[in-house]
Amino acid sequence: MRPGCRGTDSRRIPVYGKAVTASPPDRPPLILASASPRRLELLAQGGLTPNHVDPASIDEAPLSDETPRLAAQRLARAKAEAVAARHPGAFVLAADTIVAVGRRMLGKPATEAQAVAMLALLSGRGHRVLTGVAVVAPGGKVAARLSESRVKFKRLTSREVAALLASGEWRGAAGGYRIQGLAGAYVTSLIGSYSGVVGLPLYETLSLLAGVGYVVA
C-alpha cells in the first residue's frame, strides 16, 4: 500500500537489492539519491517509499573557505542534480549531513584513530549538525532546505569512547557517531530536528516534496 505515499497500489519490485514500490501510472517516480539505510528508514517513517535507490557519487570535499552551512546545501544540491541527470522525468531527493564545531567540519572518519579524535573534540561540548536537503522535480526545478540542530555530549570517559568504537557505529557516520545508536545515551541536549541529526529532516523533506508537486499525503 505504498508507492510513494499511503493508500495506493502495492506492487513491489527489487532494485539494487532493496524492495521498492512502483508508482501509480499517473505520477513520476521518486528516486532517493543516497545509499543510507537511515534515510530510507526515515522516509518510511514519513509514509514514503522511494521507487528507486540510486546513490550519488560526487566529490564531497568542502571548498576553500566554505562554511559548514554552505557546504551542506551545495553538496545536497549537487547529489540531487547528478542523479537527476540519470533519471529524467523523476523526482530526485538527496541530502548531505555535516557535523561542525565552529567552522571546523567533521566528516566521516576513515580510521578508528580519526573517530577517536572526533569524539574527543565533541566530548563535553556542543556542536552543530547541518543537513541540507534538495529535490529536483521532473521539469528540472530545484528546491532546497537546510536543517540546523545543536547537540551537546556529556564528557565522555575512556570506557565510553571504547564502547562507541567497539559498536562500529562510527563507520560511515559524520562526526564519528550515530545519535540513534549508542551515542544517544551520551547526549545531554538537542535543540532542533532529531531526524535531521540522523540524516534526513522529515518536516523539511516532506515540505520540499509537496512544494514541487509530489503528493505526500
List, by residue number, the catalytic residues. Answer: 96
- CA–CA separation, 97 vs 103, rounded Å? 15
SS3 (DSSP) at 181:
coil
- CA–CA separation, 165 vs 186, rounded Å? 14
Tell me the HSE value of 11 on the side-chain side, using a 13 A CA sphere: 6
SS3 (DSSP) at 105:
strand
8 A C-beta contact, residue 28 and residue 91? yes
